[in-house]
Structure 1
Amino acid sequence: MRTIGEVAAELGIEAHVLRHWEDVGALTVRRDGNGHRVYDEGAVEQARTVLKLRRVGLSLPEVAAAMAPTKSAAQAVVQAKIAELEREIVQRQRAITFLRHTVECRHRYLDDCPDCATFVGEDR
């Protein structure tokens, strides 16, 4: 059994973060007779999982949903996040392509370039 301070130090986060995760339902921690949080191995592992999911970009509501008791419910949240990240990758790749073009573009103003106009039109 560990205290909130010990677990926070082990994970490299502040204790208030663990409290917040518990408040929003992303983490379940039992309490001792005095009302103090007590972290057993299961709670520590759950906190590690929450931290990993946060670090890969899931919001706290997404994390809480991904910690659902059924694997299918958790997988649905993760699959939705994968799709969102894949869309983001496509958008960023388009942005890089556009910016590379602007660096090499022979036109003084982007409005004068038909290729630049094509890039801008893709976002509509």
Structure 2
Amino acid sequence: MAAELGIEAHVLRHWEHEGALTVRRDDNGYRLYDDNAVEQARTVLKLRRVGLSLPEVVAAMAPKKSTAQAVVRAKIAALENEILSRQQAITFLRHAVECRHRYLDECPDCANFVRDA
């Protein structure tokens, strides 16, 4: 299962321990990854790759839809804020590259960027 997902086996065990993954066991205690467990693991992996922490993943996979939606909405807002911040950084850096002043602290536009940060 771990090889199929491209992750280490200990990661699957950690997800199970933290409650993000439910895996049945046979009579000898070996994990049985049925179709449901495989899909659940793929979902956990995708949520992790889009930036959710493991506790957020657990909450996002909660049976109560409103709980899951709240976590996902919060992550969307955080990502949108990150995009805005990076766009502002790019704007500042583009200006810095093209700035006609020798030193950035001599430039009124750069000073405005710094004050707005």
2:21 corresponds to which letter in structure 1?
A: L
What residue is the counterpart of 1:9 in the other structure?
3
* 2:94 equivalent in structure 1: 100
Higher relative contact order (CA 8 A, sep 6+): 1
1:112 and 2:112 are equivalent in the alignment: no
Which AA in structure 2 matches 1:24?
E
CA distance in 2: counterparts of 1:57 and 1:116, whole angstroms? 32
Output the TM-score relative to the length of structure 1. Answer: 0.91
Q: Which residue of the partner structure matches residue 32 of structure 1?
A: 26
**2: distance between equivalents of 1:119 and 1:61?**
36
Picking from 54, 65, 68, the partner of 1:60 is 54
Q: What runs of 5+ residues in structure 2 fail to find an aligned partner?
A: none
Question: Deviation of residue 90 (structure 1)?
Answer: 0.3
**Equivalent AA in structure 1 for residue 106 of structure 2:** D
Identical-residue share of aligned pairs (%):
80
Gaps of 5+ in 1: 1-6
Match among 39, 47, 62 for residue 45 of structure 1? 39
Paired with 2:114 and 2:17, the residues of 1 have a C-alpha distance of 43
1:73 counterpart = 2:67: yes
Shift of 1:87: 0.3
93-102 vs 16-25, greater mean Cα deviation: 16-25
RMSD (Å), alpha carbons: 0.8
| TM value normalised by structure 2 | 0.96
2:15 matched to which residue of 1?
21
